[in-house]
């Protein structure tokens, strides 16, 4: 599958089959994160793979009771091991680095026939306590991972005209 096909075909999946995810597929998804770019090649990230049913349920509860999270065979948590660095442009490095890596991982999951859904609506303190994430680390995103159940809907996008301009911001 080429990159554009993955970008075009991926959807947020909120229903999962009760089927295990093969460990070689999980490894390949993690490898996609490992190979991702980061500012100064810092790689200040840690990806947690959760399969324990009780922990997954707790994560779902910490994420505004989005119960489909706990129903997936795997939940991934994307963490930053450090959160103080700020780029010259003023943006926190960790949020950008970890988001790029997680986006790559979710695209790789799609290539492998697996569904994911970026989860940003969660109480970070609760997730940190459930997963034993240290105080200075941050949890940037969660995602369920598994074989898609029902067909995921195609969400609309703005047109190119609406989101692009040439030479200067208009």
Q: Which residues bind ligand FMN (CB under 6 A)?
A: 11-12, 14, 66, 117-121, 152, 155
Nearer to ligand FMN, 113 or 120 (CB): 120
CB of 90 to ligand FMN, least distance (A): 19
CB of 46 to ligand FMN, least distance (A): 19
CB of 23 to ligand FMN, least distance (A): 26
Nearer to ligand FMN, 120 or 134 (CB): 120
Nearer to ligand FMN, 73 or 115 (CB): 115
Q: Report strand pairing: 115-116 vs 45-50.
A: unpaired
């Amino acid at each position: 599958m080429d990159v554009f096909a993955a970008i075009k075909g991926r959807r947020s999946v909120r229903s999962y089959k009760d089927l295990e995810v093969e460990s070689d597929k999980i490894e390949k998804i993690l490898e996609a994160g490992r190979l991702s770019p980061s500012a100064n090649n810092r790689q200040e990230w840690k990806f947690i793979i959760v399969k324990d049913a009780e922990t997954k349920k707790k994560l779902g509860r910490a994420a505004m009771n989005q119960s489909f999270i706990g129903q997936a065979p795997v939940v991934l948590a994307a963490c930053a091991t450090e959160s103080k660095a700020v780029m010259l442009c003023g943006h926190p490095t960790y949020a950008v680095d970890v988001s790029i890596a997680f986006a790559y991982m979710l695209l790789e999951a799609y290539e492998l026939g697996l569904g994911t859904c970026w989860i940003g609506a969660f109480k970070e303190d609760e997730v940190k306590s459930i997963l034993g994430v240290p105080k200075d680390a941050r949890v940037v995103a969660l995602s369920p991972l598994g074989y898609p159940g029902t067909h995921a809907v195609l969400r609309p996008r703005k047109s190119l005209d609406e989101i692009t301009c040439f030479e200067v911001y208009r």
